[in-house]
Amino acid sequence: MSKPRLILDQDDVLAATHDKLADIVFNEFETGLSREAFNKVAFHQILSTELSQRLYHIIQAPGFFSDIPLIPNAREAVLELSKKYEIFVATAALEFPNSFREKYDWLRQYFDFIPWTHIVFCGDKSVLSGDYLIDDMPRNLKTFKGKGLLFNAAHNLEETAYQRVMNWEEILQLLG
């Protein structure tokens, strides 16, 4: 029997992208806010249009996606789940076309056990088909036909329509 298919988002599920951005905003932008404040809201809610643009350019710049820290325990948990599930990574990389190579190399660095055939660079995630999708963006879970799990993030704290998972330990308990 084939394994159930588990699809994982990259940014803010495997890679701590928001944390990297929050560190940049806290250290380089003069917002007057504490570092903790960025753990509770989306950037667009607190940054001016000008600062949002500045942040956007930082994300677009070469190198941004190369050194994003791993979300704690993501590698170990995905490796464990790969025994029971067919794992795919699906990332809306088309939003930042410069990121392709960096995102791919990042996955090779931390998730070398996921073959290239199971990495999907996409735009609209409604194209995905699987049994489970773990993503931090409610819009991606909305169109998914399987079971969606919302990975807790600063920009989705208000969302109540999907089952929330706080970390990889909890995912392992749920799906392992």
Backbone angles phi, psi at 169, to 5 degrees: -60, -45
Between 9 and 102, whose beta carbon lies closer to Mg ion?
Answer: 9
- Residue 57 CB-density burial (10 A; 0-12 exposed, 13-18 middle, 19+ buried): exposed
Using the contact rule CB under 5 A, the part of the chain among 24-32, 55-63, 130-138, 159-167 near Mg ion is 130-138
Alpha helices in 8-165 (DSSP H): 17-28, 43-46, 49-60, 74-81, 100-110, 138-142
User: Does position 12 bind Mg ion by CB under 5 A?
Assistant: yes
Residue 3 vs 40, nearer CB to Mg ion: 40
Query: How many Cβ atoms are within 10 Å of 127's Cβ, its own excluded?
Result: 10
Dihedral sign computed on CA atoms, order 116, 109, 77, 42: negative
Under the binding rule (CB under 5 A), the answer on residue 19 touching Mg ion is no
Which residue of 47, 78, 107, 136 would you call a contact of Mg ion, by CB under 5 A? 136
102 is an interface residue for Mg ion by CB under 5 A: no
Nearest CA among 158, 127, 157 for reference residue 145: 127
**Of 31 and 152, which has the nearer Cβ to Mg ion?**
152
Query: Closest CB to Mg ion belongs to which residue?
Result: 11
Q: Which of 11, 107, 111, 133 binds Mg ion (CB under 5 A)?
A: 11
Q: Which is nearer to Mg ion, 22 or 32 (CB)?
A: 22
Catalytic residues: 9, 11
Which positions lie near Mg ion, rule CB under 5 A? 9, 11-12, 136
